[in-house]
Structure 1
């Protein structure tokens, strides 16, 4: 029998992450309307298994280029590669894993409020052979020590966090002095208004037109539409914020960041992309093949080029759909 030295306190067991809950009950969903953090867990656990497919996420050169491009648009090429990076609200790991493959990051850690998302992110990292660990975590109370990371990143996460200023202070706490944060894919106030309007219109048109007898083969089964509608309703609970770029810069500075900068992107690309994504969610997946995916992606690429190289020079930054923000923790 092995005995413990009575003068040495045994190490506590490490925290055990909760199990995913991809099939929430109606009662749980109802409770989530009053609790945005619970809503985030239920909604993203439900989406975790199909999230990459829904958003056309991959871990090939297409998405590597996209992730590195977003990082470069916000922060430039300075400091590469970062030794140890944390992704906040990682989802399936899209941003961190593709940045690692693109040479921006050497070692990574993923955190998300959704256990399902953390599981998928770690599985994706393992399949890619990347050095990544992960924890279920609240962005307002990041479970890492002060001065741990060289870089903190996030993609489409800040708008899910109830208290963004608290989360930003936590980001600055876990960064090493001189460390950088980059958040991308956040909706602007103006962009969110037209994206949601286009999404609602596309959903209504698609689900009603596919009731016509010649097009019923293009209608998703009713139970899937009902589930999608329920998820869409819960999405209204988990999407808590939209951002004005100037105010987001102010929030980062108030948290203690320096060298803060916000940029925006996607105007015509968003006007095209949101109806496309909504249409894809409303029809059977098997109806849309590789040709459709390439059409959607190449059109989005061309419109993004137009937005970046022409429209960004003449339109106010508040009109664009996405805002990206970066900043640095002051050196001691």
Structure 2
């Protein structure tokens, strides 16, 4: 009989109130609530578009040396976006997904099964990873470190479960400056969209008030689960203190983030399916162009701390077996 916790996608008011003072409980409730719609909300897929995105993020910070890794672990896997797409890209041959949220682990395992990938999963706390020392060749995560109360402790655990010479790669972490402008842009877009769609001529573009209210409650809980923002140099120091060799942080998305956050917020504020494939392709191609501009031009003149996303990598010392 399985002893894994069951998902709780319909938290009570009492549980939500308790979660406001308990970041780990908030993470479980918020992500259990999000598990069923998370891929749609963030335009996550397991096709060439997201395979390329995941592999490009990995290359940006860690290069291609070492591919394919053997067994990989994803912390805070959500629905499996990062690991499953990296496996499809040939970065690793087998994997394990972990998350505090039982709903997310179940979603990730369903996605892995559908894709025919060799993946197992556990409900797990990143500060106490339930695997033996030296189990993995690679540990990855996407948009997870900023949810973990003690990041240095989690990185120590990552290094513990890595084999000597193994690597970790975490991507999608908000920088301090990037988060400040992204949240302002998102809040302004939400206010403008929900205000304008009250007009009779635009009411067809307005989501039902109950859905908007639910999104607002989720956003309030999201503010609890988002614990950290990072300065790139300080994140490198944290990884070094945890024991990482060659700790390196790179950043990405400056102009792309200034487009991406309003776009995602607008999409969340209008009825699902209202925008259509034309809009999706416009948003994606615009993001691609601005990402190229960021990487090839603006990264040479704009300080790395001003970019929205931080990516960190490092390795475990010791003789490689």
What is the TM-score normalised by the length of structure 2? 0.99
Aligned to 1:272: 259
| Range 283-292 or range 301-310, more displaced | 283-292
SS in 2 for 1:284: coil
Q: Structure 1 residue 167 and structure 2 residue 168: aligned?
A: no
The Cα of 1:286 is off from its aligned counterpart by: 2.0
SS in 1 for 2:9: coil
Whole-angstrom distance in 1 between the partners of 2:268 and 2:13: 22
Aligned to 2:26: 39
SS in 1 for 2:35: helix
SS in 2 for 1:20: coil
Whole-angstrom distance in 2 between the partners of 1:260 and 1:37: 27
Aligned to 1:110: 97
Cα shift readout 1:183-206 (whole Å, capped 9, x = no counterpart): 000000000000000011000000
Q: Structure 1 residue 289 and structure 2 residue 276: aligned?
A: yes
SS in 2 for 1:16: coil
Whole-angstrom distance in 2 between the partners of 1:292 and 1:23: 32
Whole-angstrom distance in 1 between the partners of 2:42 and 2:189: 17
Aligned to 1:71: 58
Aligned to 1:323: 310
Aligned to 1:50: 37
Identify unmatched segments of 5+ residues in structure 2: none
Cα shift readout 1:272-303 (whole Å, capped 9, x = no counterpart): 00000000110001211111110000000000
Aligned to 2:112: 125
Aligned to 1:4: none
SS in 2 for 1:287: coil
Whole-angstrom distance in 2 between the partners of 1:253 and 1:330: 12
Q: Structure 1 residue 314 and structure 2 residue 301: aligned?
A: yes
Q: Structure 1 residue 144 and structure 2 residue 121: aligned?
A: no
CA RMSD between the two structures: 0.7
What is the TM-score normalised by the length of structure 1? 0.95
Q: Structure 1 residue 59 and structure 2 residue 38: aligned?
A: no
1:7-18 to 2 correspondences below 5 Å: 16-18=3-5
Identify unmatched segments of 5+ residues in structure 1: 1-12
Cα shift readout 1:136-159 (whole Å, capped 9, x = no counterpart): 000000000000000000000000
SS in 1 for 2:66: coil
Larger Rg: 1
The Cα of 1:331 is off from its aligned counterpart by: 1.2
